[in-house]
Amino acid sequence: MTKPRTLEQRIKFDYGLPMGQSLVRFTLGERSVDALVEIGKRGEVYYFVKPDAGTMYASWQRVTGDITKSGSGAIKLWAEKDAEFMARFSGNPAATIPIK
C-alpha cells in the first residue's frame, strides 16, 4: 500500500500549479480561505493567506510535508493597505486544495 501524498506533494504535483505564485483556495470541511501559493525554483512551497481587514502582520508560511512552519517566510506589514499586493487575491483560484 502506498502512503498518501503530503500537503507539500499535493500542492506541487496534483493541481498543475506552475513555479512561482498562484492563487488557490484551501478548504477544510465547510471553511475555506484564499491564499497565494509560491513554488520556488528548488521546490520549496510557501503560502500567504489573504489577510483580514485590520491585520497588522501577515507572513509567508513554509510547507514541509504536512507541517506548516511559521517564521520561515517574509513578513508583510499592513498587507491590506498594499493595493498591488492585494490585487493578487482577486480572480478565480487556480485550484481548490482540501486540507485533510
Residue 62 has a pLDDT of: 95
Mean pLDDT, rounded, for 65-69:
92
| 3-state secondary structure (DSSP) of residue 31 | strand
The greatest distance separating any two alpha carbons of the chain, rounded to the nearest whole angstrom, comes to 49
Summarised one tens digit per residue, pLDDT across range 8-57 is 999 999 999 999 999 999 999 999 999 999 999 999 999 999 998 889 99
Please tell me the distance from the alpha carbon of residue 62 to that of residue 4, in angstroms, as a whole number: 20
Q: Which one has a higher pLDDT value, 32 or 100?
A: 32
Mean pLDDT, rounded, for 66-81:
85
The pTM score is: 0.90
Residues 45/37, Cβ–Cβ less than 8 Å = yes
